[in-house]
Chain A
Amino acid sequence: MDFDLTDEQRLLADSVNRFVSDRYGDFEKRKAYRAEAKGYAAANWSAMAEMGLLGLPLSEEQGGFGGGPVEALLVMEAIGRGLVVEPYLATVVLGLGLLRRAGGQEDLLAEVAAGGTTLAFAHQERQARHDLHDIATTARQDGDAWVLDGAKGVALHGDSADRLLVSARTAGGRRDRAGIGLFLLDPATPGVTRRGYATQDGLRAAEVVLEGARATLLAADALPLIELVADEAIAALCAEAVGAMETLRDLTVDYLKTRQQFGRPIGEFQALQHRAADMLVATEQARSMAMYAAMMVQGSDPAARATALSAAKALVGRLADQLGKDAIQLHGGIAMTEEYKAGHYFKRLTMLGVLFGDVDHHIRRVVAAGGLPD
Chain B
Amino acid sequence: MDLRYTADEIAFRDELRAFFRREIPAEIRRKVSEGRKLSREDIVTTQRVLHAHGLSVPNWPVEWGGKDWTPVQRYIFSEEIQAAAVPQPLSFNVNMVGPVIATFGNAAQKQRFLPPTANLDIWWAQGFSEPGAGSDLASLKTTARREGDEFVVNGQKTWTTLGQYADWIFCLVRTDPNARKKQEGISFLLIDMKTPGITVRPIITIDGGHEVNEVFFDEVKVPAENLVGELNKGWDYAKFLLSNERIGIARIGLTKERLARVKRLAQETPAGEGTVWDDPDFRRRLAWSEIELKALEITQMRVVAAQRTRAADKPDPSSSILKIKGSEIQQQATQLLMEVAGPYAMPRPDRDEDGANLPSVGPEWADAAAPLFFNYRKVSIYGGSNEIQRNIIAKAFLGL
Contact = CB atoms under 8 A, between A and B. Distances in A.
Q: Which applies to chain A's interface (DSSP): helix, strand, loop or mixed?
A: mixed
Interface in B267-310: 270-273, 276, 279, 281-282
B204 interface: yes
B339 A154 contact: no
Contacts of B282: 360
Interface in B366-385: 370-371, 373-374, 377-378, 380-382, 385
Contacts of B237: none
A110 interface: no
B342 A336 contact: no
A134 B270 CA distance: 12
B134 interface: yes
A339 interface: yes
B281 A360 contact: yes
A154 B350 CA distance: 16
A328 interface: yes
A157 B339 CA distance: 22
A346 B374 contact: yes
A354 B377 contact: no
A272 B345 CA distance: 31
Given A197-B349, A200-B370, A261-B136, A339 B377 contact: no
Interface in A120-137: 124, 126-131, 134
A207 B362 CA distance: 9
Contacts of B349: 197-198
Given A332-B385, A346-B206, A271 B342 contact: no
Given A329-B377, A338-B204, A175 B273 contact: yes
Given A329-B381, A333-B381, A154 B346 contact: yes
B206 A343 contact: yes
Contact of A336 (B276, B350, B378): B378
Contacts of B390: 271
A308 interface: no
A91 B382 CA distance: 42
A355 B273 CA distance: 20
Interface in A309-340: 325, 328-329, 332-333, 335-339
A134 B377 CA distance: 35
B361 A358 contact: no
B400 to A, nearest CB: 12
A153 interface: yes
B46 interface: no
B281 A126 contact: no
Contacts of B370: 200, 347, 350-351
Given A129-B271, A333-B382, A363-B281, A197 B347 contact: yes
Given A195-B361, A332-B134, A338 B272 contact: no
Contacts of A3: none
A200 B203 contact: no
B205 interface: yes
Contacts of A197: 347-350, 361
A200 B345 contact: yes
Contacts of A346: 206, 374, 377
A338 B208 contact: yes
Nearest to B159: A333
Contacts of B136: 261-263
A138 to B, nearest CB: 18
Contacts of B343: 124, 129-130, 153-154, 354-355
Contacts of A262: 135-136, 139
A263 B133 CA distance: 11
Nearest to A264: B136
A200 B348 contact: yes
Interface in A182-206: 195, 197-201, 205
B342 A358 contact: yes
B348 A198 contact: yes
Give the residue among B129, B135, B346 with the most A Cβ atoms within 10 A. B346
A328 B377 contact: yes
Nearest to B272: A131
Contacts of A195: 361
A129 B135 contact: no
A130 B341 CA distance: 12
Nearest to B375: A336
A276 to B, nearest CB: 13
B214 to A, nearest CB: 10
Nearest to B363: A126
Contacts of B271: 129-131
Nearest to B369: A200
B387 A336 contact: no
Contacts of B350: 197-198
B217 interface: no
Contact of B347 (A199, A337, A338, A350): A199
Given A347-B374, A350-B370, A364-B281, 19 more contacts: A127-B272, A175-B272, A197-B349, A198-B347, A205-B346, A261-B134, A261-B135, A262-B139, A271-B391, A329-B386, A329-B387, A333-B129, A336-B212, A337-B203, A346-B377, A350-B374, A354-B345, A360-B279, A360-B281
13 contacts: A127-B272, A129-B270, A153-B361, A197-B349, A198-B347, A199-B347, A260-B132, A332-B385, A336-B205, A339-B203, A350-B370, A355-B343, A360-B281
Listed from nearest, the 3 A-B pairs whose CB atoms lie closest are: A343-B206, A261-B136, A129-B271
